[in-house]
Structure 1
Amino acid sequence: MIEKKHFSQVDYPEKTKSFGITADGREVFSYTLTNKNGMELEVMEYGATITSIKIPTASNSKIDVVLGFDTLQDYINSYDLPSAPYLGCVVGRVAGRINKGAFLLNEKKVQLTQNHGKHQLHGGKEGFGQKIWKMKNRTQGDFPSITLEYASQNGEENFPGVLVVEVTYMLTESNQVIVEYNAFSTDDTVVNLTQHSYFNLDGHQHSVSNQTLFVNSTKVLETNAENIPTGLFLKVSNCPFDFTEEKNCPPSIDNTFTLNEKNRIATSLYSKKNQLKMSVYTNQPAVHIYVGGNCFGQLKGKENADYHPLSGICFETQHYPDSPNHAHFPTIMLRKGEQYYHQTIFAFENI
């Protein structure tokens, strides 16, 4: 599934540009990786965010298949929207919801910040998507990559331990975007990272309604009215969330699907219009799928796009939401000195 890393005599050097300057004067850079097929992946330091993925199509055109903004300020301002979209960023320390922002760790209560009513969502009031990550390493050649690092301090959003996180984005010759996360903590803590890009294989200016979705899962997590897991699992058979056979993207979905087979295909998306397919592979036990991207008419997307509730679809590969409060869920505890490792692959092909 993963290609062996090797280098040719021809380099496809990454491009670096200034993406903007924060209010406190910090300059944020973006990096563009290109493969021999002409596919481009752009990542910026703010939020370790994927700002663009441009794919050559069967008709020899090139389309941008992820939602984003043209300016750093718009990314910053997006967190003040009625519902922040988290466009393209790395979410952490813990993706998804934590019930009442609290859990027990080593038999002691940890009370986190609460930014979603009485709950915590996507890491708190200022999660990893709002941090400036440090560019740590770059490689060129047939397997270009960029590694970004962020050190989350002890007590940030009330999480225990200093958590040092690296995310590496790699681009292969076969049009795969490989995302790898590594993390270590100075104390026992919890961690559940994900990538929050919104995909649209018709192009980021359009709707996902006419694209077809497949999910390699027979169960979803049951949730209550506030979208907090109850601890029960529901079979998808004979219900609207059965995507074991391809069918059109739903107009509304915000559900966690369990994955029984790691490193097998988790889900796929297909655009008949562009004859383009994206398959998602992961070593995580779940994928949370969400259709959205709405910017409420308050912010314009890239190329003056108007993002609406059907603009894109997220495939948040991760552990189950609210895992610390359910003993039978796979644990997201990271012990002091242990390694957190997470890999997800977004594989694109013209078919």
Structure 2
Amino acid sequence: MTASNKDLFGLMPNGEEVHSYGLQNANGMSVKVVTFGATVSELKVPLKNGKSIDVVLGFDSLEGYLQSFQLAGAPYIGATVGRYAGRIHNSTFNLNGQKILLNKNNNNNSLHGGLVGFSQKVWTVTNETFGKEPAITLTYTSPANEENYPGDLTVNVTYTLTEANELKIDYSATTTEDTVVNLTNHSYFNLDGHSSNLNEQELVVNTDQILEITSEGIPTGRYLQVENTEFDFLTPKKCPSVIDNSFVLHNKNEFAASLFSKKNNLKMIVFTDQPSVHIYVGGNCSNKIKGKENADYHPLSGICFETQNFPDAPNQDHFPSALLKKGDEYTQFTTYKFESF
């Protein structure tokens, strides 16, 4: 609480140092953030019985994260995702009359920023706040034409542990040219502990609509009602074994989603000002890489709540705009609040 714990986490192939930083609030809730990908590697939440539980997936070393991005379906465990979270159809969009052609990394599409997105960059710690509500800010400047996106984009991500046992994430970005931006966090949550499974945990998503998608996960532009479908999570239902869908959020003043563990009597509530929460279950390490504490991560190890703008918004005029103009500032926040019963 008086200082962050800074540790060497590993060396990049070029010798650049990667560090982990630990924060703890007055209640004993703690988080570890790694400068590779501005990644949440550990999140320990205190329970009513005096124990604490690590509720996010992660790796013990930098090598685990580096290896995970070599997998056929990289899981992006705990990472900050950008420059554009989600898929962009055919890896192209038009901006100011110019056709932008991005790198393809998901069939013909661009996913989560392209071949080497923000999740694989080493970020710089630019601010730390100590005391009851400790915080850390990480910064990355993406040069113009990285992954073929226009403009130098400077991004700040601030993680704060509040006194209400929340992990709050504040994002901001500015650009030297008009560009598009969509940032999110890709943590996999499991309220029974990172080495457990989601089978018995209950999911609520506070909306009656999802985006219709093609077989490649690209939005068609249509909104679908969830009533009487497998995507109706307005009332608590067990976590699905596979899901990869964007839910449309209508009210920024209400919660977006929640997860509840009967085993630990622990609830997580997700808040955001973004128009969508993308729910994803199914990430795994193909039994090729061990998670932290030698855990075997499988498709039901964790669930992602990717709060963000809609996928492919640059190609859909009626979607919320992803345009960030020179001179303007992109901001968004996401809060994961934990309640122990």
Counterpart amino acid of residue 164 in structure 2: S
Counterpart amino acid of residue 167 in structure 1: V
What CA distance in whole angstroms lies between the structure 2 residues aligned with 1:264 and 1:108? 38
Specify the alignment match of 1:99 in structure 2: 89
Question: Among the aligned pairs, what percent are the same residue?
Answer: 53
Alignment of 1:151-170 (within 5 A): 151-170=141-160
What CA distance in whole angstroms lies between the structure 1 residues aligned with 2:28 and 2:7? 19
Runs of 4+ in 1 over 6 A off after TM superposition: none
Query: May I ask how many residue pairs the two structures share in their alignment?
Result: 341
1:129 aligned counterpart, secondary structure:
helix
What CA distance in whole angstroms lies between the structure 2 residues aligned with 1:292 and 1:31? 28
1:257-287 deviations in whole A, cap 9, x for unaligned? Answer: 0000014200000000000000000000100
Specify the alignment match of 1:253 in structure 2: 243
TM-score (norm 2): 0.99
Where structure 2 has 5 or more consecutive residues not aligned to the other structure, the ranges are: none
Specify the alignment match of 1:89 in structure 2: 79
2:69 aligned counterpart, secondary structure:
helix
In the alignment, which of 190, 202, 207 is matched to residue 200 of structure 1? Answer: 190
Please state how far the C-alpha of 1:214 moved relative to its aligned partner: 0.4
What CA distance in whole angstroms lies between the structure 1 residues aligned with 2:78 and 2:140? 16
1:80 aligned counterpart, secondary structure:
coil
Please state how far the C-alpha of 1:36 moved relative to its aligned partner: 1.5
Specify the alignment match of 1:213 in structure 2: 203
In the alignment, which of 101, 121, 125 is matched to residue 111 of structure 1? Answer: 101
Counterpart amino acid of residue 297 in structure 2: Y
Specify the alignment match of 2:270 in structure 1: 280
Specify the alignment match of 2:161 in structure 1: 171
Where structure 1 has 5 or more consecutive residues not aligned to the other structure, the ranges are: 1-10
Please state how far the C-alpha of 1:107 moved relative to its aligned partner: 1.8
1:286 and 1:317 in contact (8 A); partners too? yes
What CA distance in whole angstroms lies between the structure 2 residues aligned with 1:113 and 1:263? 36
1:180 aligned counterpart, secondary structure:
strand
Q: Is 1:32 equivalent to 2:46 in the alignment?
A: no
Counterpart amino acid of residue 160 in structure 2: M
In the alignment, which of 11, 22, 31 is matched to residue 12 of structure 2? Answer: 22
Please state how far the C-alpha of 1:292 moved relative to its aligned partner: 2.5
Counterpart amino acid of residue 317 in structure 2: A
1:328-350 deviations in whole A, cap 9, x for unaligned? Answer: 00000000010000100000010
In the alignment, which of 297, 300, 304 is matched to residue 310 of structure 1? Answer: 300
Alignment of 1:61-80 (within 5 A): 61-80=51-70
> Which is further off, 53-62 or 140-149?
53-62
Specify the alignment match of 1:147 in structure 2: 137
Counterpart amino acid of residue 182 in structure 2: N
2:26 and 2:133 in contact (8 A); partners too? no
Specify the alignment match of 2:47 in structure 1: 57
1:140-193 deviations in whole A, cap 9, x for unaligned? Answer: 001100000000000000000000000000001111011000100000000000
What CA distance in whole angstroms lies between the structure 2 residues aligned with 1:152 and 1:226? 28
What CA distance in whole angstroms lies between the structure 2 residues aligned with 1:60 and 1:12? 22
Q: Is 1:234 equivalent to 2:224 in the alignment?
A: yes
TM-score (norm 1): 0.96
What CA distance in whole angstroms lies between the structure 2 residues aligned with 1:82 and 1:190? 26
Alignment of 1:261-340 (within 5 A): 261-340=251-330
Please state how far the C-alpha of 1:13 moved relative to its aligned partner: 2.2
CA RMSD in angstroms comes to 0.7
Specify the alignment match of 1:132 in structure 2: 122
What CA distance in whole angstroms lies between the structure 2 residues aligned with 1:76 and 1:69? 10
1:265 aligned counterpart, secondary structure:
coil
1:59 and 1:274 in contact (8 A); partners too? no
What CA distance in whole angstroms lies between the structure 2 residues aligned with 1:263 and 1:132? 34
Q: Is 1:47 equivalent to 2:7 in the alignment?
A: no
What CA distance in whole angstroms lies between the structure 1 residues aligned with 2:313 and 2:285? 30
